[in-house]
Amino acid sequence: MKLLVTVVVGILCFAPRALAGQQAAAVSSAASPAASSAAGADSAGDVMGAFRYFVGVWEPVHEAGAAAKVSETYTFAPILDGAFLMSQEIYRDAGGKIVYRDFAVFGVDPDTHKLFLHAYNTDGSIDRTHAIDSAAGEWVFLGTVYGSKRFRDYRYTLTKGDENHMRVLIELLKEGKYEKRSETHYERKAREAAAEVK
């Protein structure tokens, strides 16, 4: 009980000061467009800006005559006022039953100022990754899957094509080298997606 009272008193004491600081920063930014621009260049929003290209609903592009055993939908949606993106891959069999799904959160690491993704998978495994330097229009993540029996270390590359096409390359680390596990080309089916986990 004593701890609860201390926490509440601390919030009441510091909240007005934090709010005043936010108001002062807003006034300062409004008064100086150059200062506002400089602050924005270092913000998480700037790093996420180009990555928001992926927001929407995507489906694999299949070669003519190739029949897929399962259907896949890959969605990206902004969450928490756009500070993060969530993604979800859902695979369904011919009857529409979900046979696999995962859920991921993409964001900017406040220490490194680089993108990361954390994924949560149907089998209970968790992916933790961090982005590495890559060419414009390409986002490369090095990751580790914890709790999976299928694989552990991998490289995940998202590449922007035109405005409605992208490619996803997954490579597994084996004996110090990355070997291609899969390469999928996707087409955008919608420019918005619901921020919900199914």
Beta strands 126-132 and 138-146, pairing class = antiparallel
Q: Is the pTM of this model over 0.85?
A: no
User: CA-CA distance, 196 to 192, in Å (whole number)?
Assistant: 12
27 contacts: CB under 8 Å, gap ≥ 6: none
Nearest to 127 by CA among 160, 77, 87, 71: 87
Percent of the chain with pLDDT over 90: 64
Predicted local distance difference test score (pLDDT) of residue 59: 96
User: CA-CA distance, 192 to 56, in Å (whole number)?
Assistant: 4
More confidently predicted of 42 and 95: 95
Taking only the tens place, the pLDDT of each residue in 20-47 is 444 433 333 333 333 333 333 344 447 8
Predicted local distance difference test score (pLDDT) of residue 12: 38
Residue 151 has pLDDT above 60, yes or no: yes
